């Protein structure tokens, strides 16, 4: 009898099918790893399981102990014994360990919390897990690793039978990882089933009984760990042909447009931690340089620092067309001919409630209009031309941005940067969350721009995209440059191996 | 029709209803030249503050201190004139300078030290009021200077009114002509001369009617003339300058604005300084109208200005709002004050009604938005 079965789960977002008939099962006392590229559907699947996406927003069946479940919300899933620990911890920093563990379920009488009982139960629970943590400590005073352990204690206090861990070791030190694994082993022997999402294949190998690989929202296969090797897993993760949606074009590269030497980027909260560690690279006119790596590898931080938009400390030298430049702010980057199509268009890219014209001309306003006065007609002409060139589907430049589809919004962000007349263009996840048709249009635009002599640096989590478009690929792993491939050398397996640090 | 135009027409409609109601309820007193002139005068101080406040709100900030700053700047003008015996110009310059410096100071605390504008200006609301009481020793300072008082109390002669009207009409025609030329030059579409001509008739009609009504009483009041100039300036800044555009961008999405190369901090500082300058101007009109500087001058004026912006469709989240809306909002607020006073509605009821209308206006706006 399976502890958990998920059958034929389908979950759609507008324009994207995130899960396409996924099947998954978990036995009591089993450690089951769930792996796949970024965007393969792992997190979405877990959100379906934990009631974040309630019944009715997906199709398919969820059975716990052979009983059909229809979770209306997270609480319903918790009551069925499912606990999920997300990448971003959901603890309240200002409350104590004990208060966090029982948040929303405080032992109380007539609404008055029985603190003594709360801390007694909390310390029993922590002792039971052999965690040397004082339940009266404020969460904010604990290290990230200990917070993770508190989160697990919280899950277990709800009598979880099924524990989902999403990249739990991303922020842990090695000794904290050992403590965590000790506890997980203990839980296993008690019959708790665990679903473990991780990019770290070493850990996956060490702990798992079985492994399920997801790709493009589909289950590629579930295998016993003993039947697999790291190479096989990587092949399963990336195993698809790089399709024809990447237009082929060959052209000559020009001189070096951008050169970066010894770039270091430091964490904002932990000043000693390097998010980008001594990276040097250059990109030539007409070249598309792809930057690959897993989430948290330091890719966006690298671009932000070069662009003068990183809020924390950074060091290194930047040369544009051979000339050393000092860039302290995005406006200086723009003056030096760098454009940056940022990730997450809704958060960093668009003025959602304003018109396409306002959005398109924002970054290049002084170039299009003048330093002090705006020039409506010149702006309209520029906006209309950008919309035509990029095939933005909207009735006029005066359409409000949030009425457009994701693909068209992305084209507007791209257009905004092209209107600054850049020499170097950064693209961060340029096709995230947009449909295939719009993707293809953006791909051919990138190719066209490169052909016209623009130097392009593209960060993408989608391996086929990086492989298909780039002339050269840099691979980052935990802030370090771990690989560099030309288009001819690169294979998905090689890139993935470097990105996961398995080399 | 786009939403902002729809909002403008709705507001004009609401204003018309309010006027018609008061005219009926007051037994045909409300819509007389004398009362309309008075109404415009009542609008002037709130209107000037609302123009500055609108730009602050559009940038995603707020200023709760303008009432106190108005009192302080007015007090300083009175001290310079009456106590120190300097002339008109030093008094005006001192008032404006103090208000601008306070704006820069509060703007710097907000933009560069990241203290929320709400907190900075809430502190300012208390502190600057304290300063007014300190410099005036909590006593009203009378003003004797006739020229200064005329800034708040006199009218331009009917002939000059008509000359200004002619200039304004010429300006409207010039803008229409320029608009047509732009359409042709950039090939933005067919030029429909009849339509353009009809479109320019509306503002021309409004100008003629306005001057006619004002002249039927005593001419255009000087404070109203200043309000019109300030409103035009505000309109120009929000519509025709990069600074104005950046304010909308910062209020709409500060991260996107910053990553698009905009210096958010400097622009926020500038808009606080600008509101300071307008508060200084408003303080002179206020002091000149009353003819003295009282320690409680300008109390609650910040709330009138904010309410005017909000009734005019500005979003306190930033990124949305127009000068036209804010001025119309100020006129609606003044109309309620004026009409209810004529009807002898008791003070406490006036406040309850004004408060309810403010909340209802925003509630209706939200309900309309949800339907879209």
**pLDDT tens profile B160-218:** 999 999 999 999 999 888 888 887 877 767 778 888 888 889 899 999 999 999 999 99
Instruction: Check whether residue A227 and residue A261 sit in a common domain.
Output: no
Q: A17 and A10 in contact (C-beta within 8 Å)?
A: yes
Strand partners for A259? A282, A319
Chain B: give the shortest CA distance to residue A245, in Å.
30
Same domain, A35 and A151: yes
With an 8 Å Cβ cutoff, are B241 and A373 in contact?
yes
Domain B3-154+221-371 belongs in CATH node 1.10.3470: yes
How many domains would you assign to chain A? Answer: 3
Per-residue pLDDT averaged across B3-26, rounded? 89
The DSSP bridge pattern shows strands A314-320 and A323-325 to be: antiparallel
Quick one: DSSP state of residue A305?
Answer: H
Percent of chain B with pLDDT over 70: 97
Residues A307, A358: one domain? no
Contact call for B262 and A362, based on CB within 8 A:
yes
Nearest CA in chain A to B315: A353
Domain stop point among A372, A402, A421: A421
**Res. B2 pLDDT band, cuts 50 70 90:** low
Confidence (pLDDT) at B199: 84
Number of helices (H), then strands (E), belonging to chain B: the values are 15, 2
Task: Determine the pLDDT at residue B257.
Answer: 96
Q: Which domain holds residue A392?
A: 351-421
Instruction: Name the domain boundary from A238, A268, A288.
Output: A238
pLDDT at A119: 94
Last residue of a domain, one of A361, A388, A421: A421
Tokens matching residue A348: 């960093």
Residue A246 domain-assigned?
A: no
Does pLDDT of B116 surpass 60? Answer: yes
Residue from A334, A353, A356, A384 to probe the interface with B (highest B Cβ count within 10 Å): A353
A400 and A480 assigned to the same domain: no
Residue B3 is predicted with a pLDDT of 67
Q: Do B258 and A309 touch (CB under 8 A)?
A: yes
Whole-number pLDDT of residue A328: 94
Based on the fold, state whether residues A48 and A163 are members of the same structural domain.
Answer: yes
Contact call for residues A178 and A17 (beta carbons, < 8 A): no
pLDDT for the residue numbered A259: 97
| Model pLDDT, residue A178 | 85
ipTM: 0.88
Residue A243 in domain: no
* pLDDT class of B239 with cuts at 50, 70, 90: very high
Cβ-contact A442, A436 below 8 angstroms = no
Which helix (H) or strand (E) is B328 found in, with range?
Answer: helix B323-342
CB contact under 8 A, A353 and B252: yes
- Contact between A348 and B255 using a beta-carbon 8 Å cutoff: yes
B157 close to B225: Cβ distance less than 8 angstroms: no
Diameter over CA atoms, chain B: 66
Q: Are A112 and A191 contacting, i.e. CB atoms less than 8 angstroms apart? A: no
| Cβ pair B280, B73 in contact under 8 A | yes
Could you tell me if residue A46 is inside a domain?
Answer: yes
If asked whether residues A222 and A207 sit together in one domain, one would say yes
pLDDT for the residue numbered A245 = 62
In a domain, A317, yes or no: yes
Residues of A in contact with B248 (CB under 8 A): 351, 354, 358
CA distance A197 to chain B (A): 31
- Write down the pTM of the prediction: 0.82
Per-residue pLDDT of B269-286, as tens digits, reads: 999 999 999 999 999 999
d(CA A26, CA A34): 11
- Please check whether residues A182 and A283 belong to one and the same domain: no
Residue A346, domain member (yes or no): no
Sorting pLDDT into bands at 50, 70 and 90, what band is B350?
A: very high
Q: Decide if A74 is inside a domain.
A: yes
Q: Which of A415, A444, A459, A442 has the alpha carbon at shortest distance from A289?
A: A459
Q: State whether A342 and B259 contact (CB < 8 Å).
A: yes
Residue A315 lies in a domain: yes
What pLDDT score was predicted for residue A242? Answer: 44
* Chain B residues touching chain A at CB-CB below 8 Å: 2, 182, 185-186, 188, 239-246, 248-249, 252-253, 255-263, 319-320
Calpha distance B199→B192 (Å, rounded): 11
Q: Residue A371: which of B186, B242, B248 has the nearest Cβ? A: B242
Query: Does residue B250 carry a pLDDT above 50?
Result: yes
Structural domain contains residue A342: no
Q: At residue A489, what are phi and psi to the nearest 5 degrees? A: -75, -30
pLDDT confidence of residue A241: 47
Residues of B in contact with A347 (CB under 8 A): 253, 255-256
Which pLDDT score is estimated for B318? Answer: 93
According to the model, what pLDDT value does residue A13 have?
Answer: 80
Kindly report the backbone phi and psi dihedral angles of residue B328, in degrees, each rounded to the nearest multiple of 5, phi listed first.
-65, -40
Read out DSSP for B202-247? HHHHHHHHHHHHHHHHTS-BHHHHHHHHHHHHHHHHHHHBHHHHHH
Chunk chain A into consecutive blocks of 10 residues (it has 503) and report each block's average pLDDT, rounded to whole numbers.
Answer: 91 82 94 85 90 90 92 89 81 90 86 90 88 89 83 84 86 78 89 89 88 90 87 77 60 92 89 90 96 87 95 93 95 96 92 95 94 90 94 90 89 96 95 79 92 95 86 93 91 87 74
Instruction: Answer yes or no: do A161 and A282 share one domain.
Output: no
**CATH value at residue A433:** 3.40.50.300
State whether A43 and A161 are in the same domain.
yes
């Amino acid at each position: 009898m399976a502890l958990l079965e998920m059958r034929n789960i389908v979950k759609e977002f507008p324009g994207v099918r995130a899960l396409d008939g996924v099947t998954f099962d978990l036995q009591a006392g089993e450690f089951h790893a769930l792996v796949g590229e970024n965007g393969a559907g792992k997190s979405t699947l877990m959100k379906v399981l934990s009631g974040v996406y309630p019944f009715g927003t997906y199709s398919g069946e969820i059975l716990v102990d052979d009983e059909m479940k229809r979770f209306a919300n997270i609480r319903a899933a918790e009551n069925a014994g499912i606990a999920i620990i997300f990448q971003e911890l959901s603890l309240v920093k200002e409350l104590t360990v004990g208060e966090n563990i029982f948040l929303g379920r405080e032992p109380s009488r007539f609404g008055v919390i029985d603190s003594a009982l709360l801390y007694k139960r909390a310390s029993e629970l922590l002792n039971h897990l052999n965690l040397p943590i004082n339940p009266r400590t404020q969460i904010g005073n604990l290290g990230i690793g200990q917070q993770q352990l508190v989160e697990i204690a919280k899950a277990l206090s709800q009598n979880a039978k099924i524990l989902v861990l999403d990249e739990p070791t991303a922020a842990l030190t090695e000794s904290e990882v050992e403590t965590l694994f000790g506890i997980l082993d203990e839980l296993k022997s008690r019959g708790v089933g665990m679903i473990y999402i991780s990019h770290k294949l070493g850990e996956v190998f060490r702990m798992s009984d079985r492994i399920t690989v997801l790709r493009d929202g589909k289950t590629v296969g579930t295998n016993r760990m003993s039947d697999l090797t790291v190479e096989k897993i990587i092949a399963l993760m990336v195993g698809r042909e790089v399709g024809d949606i990447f237009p082929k074009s060959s052209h000559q590269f020009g001189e070096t447009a951008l050169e970066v030497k010894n770039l270091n980027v430091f964490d904002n909260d932990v000043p000693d931690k390097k998010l980008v560690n001594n990276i040097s690279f250059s990109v030539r006119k007409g070249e598309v340089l792809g930057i690959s790596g897993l989430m948290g590898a330091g890719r966006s931080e690298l671009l932000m620092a070069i662009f003068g938009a990183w809020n924390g400390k950074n060091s290194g030298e930047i040369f544009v067309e051979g000339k050393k430049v000092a860039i302290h702010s995005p406006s200086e980057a723009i003056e030096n001919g760098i454009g940056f199509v940022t990730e997450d268009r809704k958060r960093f890219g668009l003025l959602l409630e304003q018109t396409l014209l306002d959005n398109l001309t924002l970054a290049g306003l002084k170039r299009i209009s003048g330093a002090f006065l705006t020039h409506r007609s010149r702006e309209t002409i520029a906006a209309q031309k950008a919309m035509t060139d990029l095939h933005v589907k909207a009735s006029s430049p005066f359409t409000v941005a949030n009425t457009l589809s994701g693909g068209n919004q992305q084209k507007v962000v791209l257009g905004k940067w092209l209107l600054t007349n850049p020499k170097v263009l950064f693209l961060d996840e340029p096709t995230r969350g947009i449909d295939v048709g719009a993707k293809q249009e953006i791909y051919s635009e990138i190719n066209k721009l490169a052909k016209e002599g623009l130097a392009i640096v593209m960060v993408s989590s989608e391996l086929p995209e990086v492989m298909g478009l780039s002339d050269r690929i840099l691979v980052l792993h935990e802030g370090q440059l771990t690989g560099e491939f030309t288009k001819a050398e690169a294979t998905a397996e090689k890139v993935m191996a470097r990105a996961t640090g398995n080399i | 029709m786009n939403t902002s135009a729809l909002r403008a027409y709705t507001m004009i409609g609401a204003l018309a209803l309010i006027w018609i109601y008061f005219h009926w309820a007051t037994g045909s007193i409300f819509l007389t030249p004398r009362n309309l002139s008075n109404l415009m005068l009542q609008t002037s101080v709130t209107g000037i503050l609302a123009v500055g406040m609108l730009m602050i709100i559009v940038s995603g900030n707020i200023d709760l201190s303008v009432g106190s700053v108005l009192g302080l700047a007015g007090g300083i003008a009175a001290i310079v004139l009456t106590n120190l015996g300097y002339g008109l110009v030093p008094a005006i310059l001192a008032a404006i300078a103090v208000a601008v410096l306070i704006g820069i100071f509060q703007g710097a605390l907000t933009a560069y030290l990241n203290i929320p504008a709400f907190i900075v200006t809430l502190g300012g609301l208390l502190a600057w009021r304290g300063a007014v009481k300190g410099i005036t020793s909590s006593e009203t300072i009378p003003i004797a200077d006739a020229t200064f008082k005329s800034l708040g109390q006199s009218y331009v002669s009917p002939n000059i009114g008509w000359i200004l009207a002619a200039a304004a009409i010429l300006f409207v025609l010039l803008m229409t002509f320029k608009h047509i030329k732009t359409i042709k030059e950039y090939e933005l579409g067919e030029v429909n001369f009849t339509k353009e001509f009809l479109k320019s008739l509306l503002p021309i009609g409004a100008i003629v009617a306005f001057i006619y009504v004002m002249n039927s009483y005593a001419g255009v009041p000087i404070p109203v003339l200043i309000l019109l100039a300030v409103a035009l300036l505000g309109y120009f800044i929000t519509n025709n300058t990069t600074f104005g555009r950046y304010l909308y961008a910062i209020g709409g999405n500060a991260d996107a604005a910053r990553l698009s190369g905009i210096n958010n901090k400097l622009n926020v500082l500038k808009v606080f300084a600008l509101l300071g300058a307008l508060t200084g101007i408003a303080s002179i009109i206020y002091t000149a109208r009353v003819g003295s500087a009282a320690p409680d001058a300008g109390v609650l004026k910040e709330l009138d200005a904010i309410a005017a912006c909000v009734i005019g469709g500005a979003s306190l989240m930033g990124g949305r709002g127009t000068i036209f809306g804010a001025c119309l909002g100020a006129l609606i607020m003044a109309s309620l004050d004026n009409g209810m006073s004529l009807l002898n509605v008791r003070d406490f009821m006036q406040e309850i009604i004004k408060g309810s209308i403010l909340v209802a206006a925003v509630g209706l706006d939200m309900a309309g938005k949800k339907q879209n």
